[in-house]
């Protein structure tokens, strides 16, 4: 293959073109950022770990009839994906109150929500990823109400499947962020990644509010043992995929 063309470099991944215009190559990096990139660092081995976790979860969701952009992992930190146009909305699903939900509503961290909350944020570093309302989404002409309904239904289905998967890993799925894309035929596909960078994951057998944390909050809040927590998630997820 000729020298691959770099299409985009994000905070955690680099996207390359391949010889096939329908396929892109994502390289996962060890770089970590938080608070809209105001905090920066490296988590050793994170690129490989997040790539492997995402591959396992997308494989599992594919088996559950959820279409994803995932194709395969030619190298431990590289993922081949179907080319899609990313919809500029971050879809956050919450089962338990944490993070910005607590900061913005005063709900106590750890409160189990009566039903899953689905929220939409505008993917814009410049604007600081603001929370969107349905009306703002339509006002901004981002997507139609039909497409939004399709996204919400898919996000809820993904949540149900991921909750039961992580439960079998002895991990509580607190909240997570999803991104969706459209392929050339305008089919909706789950895209981007699902990893400890994009989920809050708590060890089910640990009630201590600090030591139970198995996700990027360890980096955000300087809790230490970041690599070990990510490795533990990887081990449990890969073992569970094998068993299922
Ligand atoms: N999240 C993400 N990328 C973002 C913002 C949030 O992956 O740009 C994830 C985050 O890791 C958490 C969930 O979405 O699992 C909800 O994040 P929240 O709105 O609570 O924001 P935070 O507290 O991280 O600022």
What's residue 176's pLDDT?
A: 99
Distance between Cα 51 and ligand 1 center (Å):
19
pLDDT tens, 29-51?
Answer: 999 999 989 999 999 999 999 99
What's residue 36's pLDDT?
A: 87
What's residue 2's pLDDT?
A: 62
1 has a pLDDT exceeding 90? no
What's residue 233's pLDDT?
A: 98
Strands 6-9 and 31-34: unpaired
> Ligand 1, residues 33, 86, 100, 126: which to mutate, most atoms within 8 A of Cβ?
100
Q: Are residues 63 and 92 in the same domain?
A: no
What's residue 4's pLDDT?
A: 85
Q: What is the 3-state secondary structure (H, E, C) of 174-225?
A: EEEEEEEEECCCCCEEEECCCCCCCEEEEECCCCCCCCCECCCHHHHCCCCC
Q: Whose CA is nearest to atom 25 of ligand 1?
A: 100
Burial zone of 38 (CB within 10 Å; 0-12 exposed, 13-18 middle, 19+ buried): exposed
Q: Whose CA is nearest to atom 21 of ligand 1?
A: 100
Point out the domain boundary residue: 15, 50, 82. Answer: 82
DSSP lists the bridge partners of residue 24 as 17, 81
CATH number of the domain enclosing 150: 3.30.470.20
Distance between Cα 129 and ligand 1 center (Å):
10
Q: Is 202 inside a domain boundary?
A: yes
Distance between Cα 18 and ligand 1 center (Å):
31
Q: Is 240 inside a domain boundary?
A: no
pLDDT tens, 129-187?
Answer: 999 999 999 999 999 999 999 999 999 999 999 999 999 999 999 999 999 999 999 99
pLDDT tens, 58-71?
Answer: 999 999 999 999 99
Q: Around Cβ 80, how many Cβ atoms within 10 Å?
A: 17
In the chain, the number of structural domains is: 2
Q: Are residues 64 and 148 in the same domain?
A: no
Q: Are residues 105 and 217 in the same domain?
A: yes
Q: Whose CA is nearest to atom 20 of ligand 1?
A: 99
Separation in Å, CA 48 to CA 12, 13, 99, 114: 11, 11, 26, 35
Q: Whose CA is nearest to atom 10 of ligand 1?
A: 198
State which residues form the domain around 107: 87-224
Strands 78-82 and 23-28: antiparallel
């Amino acid at each position: 293959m000729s020298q691959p063309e770099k299409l985009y470099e994000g905070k955690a991944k680099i996207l390359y073109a391949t010889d096939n215009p329908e396929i892109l190559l994502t390289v996962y990096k060890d770089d970590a950022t938080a608070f809209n990139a105001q905090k920066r660092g490296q988590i050793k081995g994170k690129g490989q770990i997040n790539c492997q976790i995402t591959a396992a979860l997308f494989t599992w969701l594919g088996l559950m009839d959820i279409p994803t952009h995932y194709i395969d992992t030619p190298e431990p930190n590289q993922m081949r994906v179907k080319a899609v146009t990313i919809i500029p909305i971050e879809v956050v699903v919450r089962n338990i109150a944490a993070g910005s939900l607590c900061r913005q509503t005063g709900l106590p961290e750890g409160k189990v929500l009566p039903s899953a909350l689905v929220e939409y944020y505008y993917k814009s570093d410049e604007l600081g990823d603001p929370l969107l309302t349905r009306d703002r989404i339509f006002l901004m002409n981002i997507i139609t109400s039909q497409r939004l309904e399709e996204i919400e239904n898919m996000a809820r289905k993904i949540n149900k499947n991921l909750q039961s998967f992580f439960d079998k890993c002895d991990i509580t799925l607190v909240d997570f962020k999803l991104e969706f894309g459209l392929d050339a035929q305008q089919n909706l596909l789950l895209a981007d990644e699902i990893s400890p960078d994009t989920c809050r994951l708590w060890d089910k057998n640990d009630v201590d509010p600090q030591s139970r944390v198995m996700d990027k909050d360890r980096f955000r809040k300087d809790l230490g043992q970041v690599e070990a927590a990510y490795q533990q998630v990887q081990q449990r997820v890969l073992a569970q995929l094998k068993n299922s």
